[in-house]
A and B are shown apart, each in its own frame.
Chain A
């Protein structure tokens, strides 16, 4: 990663430009904030900050999952459908015992961690298959995970649409489960949603994995140059399978939290989330050509999109126009970023 050499403090024109280039994504964020605040000054409030952070939380967890895969020069289109599967399975196992339309009328009251962990194992397994297909069968990640995306939707729909109640959204969730995601605690008069804490914990874990372990070093090596990595003795298949499986597990966690946050789940929950997560990663400085990216960048990328989504609705921008703005930001951010890397090469 290119780092800005602050020590020099050489304020020549070129250095200023370089600095701006290196921090283009921050400038985009600041520019947006300026626009939003200028239209609606009451945007600046602790409450809005809290809303944005808590809404970004589940998305950060999902984006961190696909982020590792992108670093290893892959991609994962099955993210959204795996999130949907996780949401449906966890919701179906965590319905309030008193609820009239339970999917499993005789299911005993489970501790919320049992279904969440079970779901993470299931989605982790799907991720593992993704990794196997990519690493061992040498199928292009785009195609492999595209196939998986469709398969998972089918699996989820079969699970979802069956007797006694058919294709009904799964609601009436256990209060312990919804509180787990919707709850908050107070610190000095400021309410901090639990979700933000979970996202922070996951971020720290992934940061450690990426920066302090052999796993991290190896996925960057594989993404940077797979041949060089193989020659230097990295077990490419093993690490690719691991990174896809880890991705799957994180979608599982994100999906369970998403179900609890929404308060219900259907087989369409999570649809297209992969596009949001992947664009957040790319805007956050991950390169599709692999081997480049930081955990911090991913978090910033997700926050940028959350600020756009929240802020633009807040100032009442036409919803259709919001799509256009979002698309433009992806292209502009990546254009600025890719110039940075081309120059480096």
Chain B
């Protein structure tokens, strides 16, 4: 017990000393107000958002002091963090909402201080965006990822007549859907198949189920579907790469991807894991959700508004009618894989 108490005492003494020291330093140095920008990420350990976060950090380096917060997938926590950052006097906020419906609460807090807000990756509703003149959005157009995936499917199908195993001219596909109700999942499911059809290819849907964006769930579904349909499956479409990789794992166990046995699988996101699979030929392609440019656009906008400049000052971004910058998705196959790799390069 004595030890514990003495350790505590020593610790607090040490910190008091440190405190005195740093206080002296602070006063002796010339006051240089660094530009503070408050950033929240809905969940730090989200794979995709961790790349966006890195891009945000990289682009802000030397230009602003970032206050980065992990909202831990909890909107209540995020609200607390926004209050904290406002009280810290940030010049602008870059907010990756946990729950897009909570935008009015964040906007109300920012409005009170007149602090500009750049939302990114999770889009507030049009009414909420219109309710505050100093708020903007950086993201993508959900439908675009589906359209690009559909084009990728159609192009590769046309280039590989041997994939039509039963020679009926139609694609018999199975589709792994993301979380039901999630705008990306709904849009990708709808637009990928629609685009294939609009390219003049007929399709048969053998199965469509939700894999909840999850690799393990997708593998289990694929196991079951394979047991049911076997080789009559001609294409596997997944709403994201994690599920595509799950399906690939399931198919590997069935003897695919050895010698000539090929099953075309496509995903979305172009995560690093998927890139290796594309290079190895087990994945046909993916759609790059451009983390690097989303992070860059977010910082560009947040910096501009923090300095009181025009939101697009000195950038190449364009705003649409909803005060939003839409970073385009890119199709990724083995031919242009370097683009995606550069995205993840430090």
Q: Are B80 and A309 in contact (CB under 8 A)?
A: yes
Q: Are B181 and A51 in contact (CB under 8 A)?
A: no
- Nearest chain A CB to B84 CB, angstrom units: 6
- Nearest chain B CB to A189 CB, angstrom units: 16
What range describes how many residues of B lie at the interface? 35 or more
Q: Are B75 and A21 in contact (CB under 8 A)?
A: no
Interface of A is mostly: helix
Of A27-35, A64-72, A212-220, the one contacting chain B is: A27-35
Q: Are A314 and B84 in contact (CB under 8 A)?
A: yes
Interface of B is mostly: helix
Q: Are A55 and B15 in contact (CB under 8 A)?
A: no
Residues of B within 8 A of A41 (CB): 23, 26
Q: A38-B22, A261-B79 are contacts. A170–B101 as well, Cβ < 8 Å?
A: yes
Of B4-12, B138-146, B217-225, B244-252, the one contacting chain A is: B4-12
Of A113-121, A133-141, A161-169, A239-247, the one contacting chain B is: A161-169
Q: A169-B99, A170-B101 are contacts. A20–B5 as well, Cβ < 8 Å?
A: yes
Residue from B72, B87, B102, B104 in contact with A48 in the complex, judged by beta carbons closer than 8 Å: B87
Q: Is B293 an interface residue (CB 8 A)?
A: no
CA distance in complex: A30, B15 (Å): 11
Residues of B within 8 A of A35 (CB): 15
Q: Are B5 and A17 in contact (CB under 8 A)?
A: yes
Residue from B2, B70, B77, B102 in contact with A169 in the complex, judged by beta carbons closer than 8 Å: B102
Q: Are A21 and B5 in contact (CB under 8 A)?
A: yes
Q: Is A228 an interface residue (CB 8 A)?
A: no
Q: Which of A20, A30, A35, A171 has the most CB of B within 10 A?
A: A171
Tell me the nearest residue of chain A to B128, going by C-beta.
A171
Residues of A within 8 A of B4 (CB): 336
Q: A34-B12, A34-B16, A51-B80 are contacts. A17–B102 as well, Cβ < 8 Å?
A: no
Residues of A within 8 A of B69 (CB): 313, 319
Q: Is B298 an interface residue (CB 8 A)?
A: no
Q: Are A263 and B19 in contact (CB under 8 A)?
A: no
Residues of B within 8 A of A263 (CB): 75, 79, 101-102, 104-105
Q: Is A37 an interface residue (CB 8 A)?
A: yes
- Nearest chain B CB to A252 CB, angstrom units: 16
Residue from A17, A166, A269, A320 in contact with B180 in the complex, judged by beta carbons closer than 8 Å: A166
Q: Are A313 and B1 in contact (CB under 8 A)?
A: no
CA distance in complex: A27, B12 (Å): 9
Q: Sort A-B residue pairs by CB-CB distance and give the 7 closest, nearest first.
A: A171-B101, A38-B19, A263-B105, A319-B70, A264-B101, A167-B181, A169-B101
Interface residues of B (CB under 8 A from A): 1-2, 4-5, 8, 11-12, 15-16, 18-19, 22-23, 26, 44, 67-70, 72-77, 79-81, 83-84, 87-88, 99-102, 104-105, 108, 179-181
Known A262-B75, A262-B99; further 16 A-B contacts with Cβ < 8 A: A20-B8, A27-B12, A31-B8, A31-B15, A48-B84, A161-B180, A167-B179, A168-B181, A169-B99, A169-B101, A170-B101, A182-B105, A261-B76, A261-B79, A314-B84, A316-B67
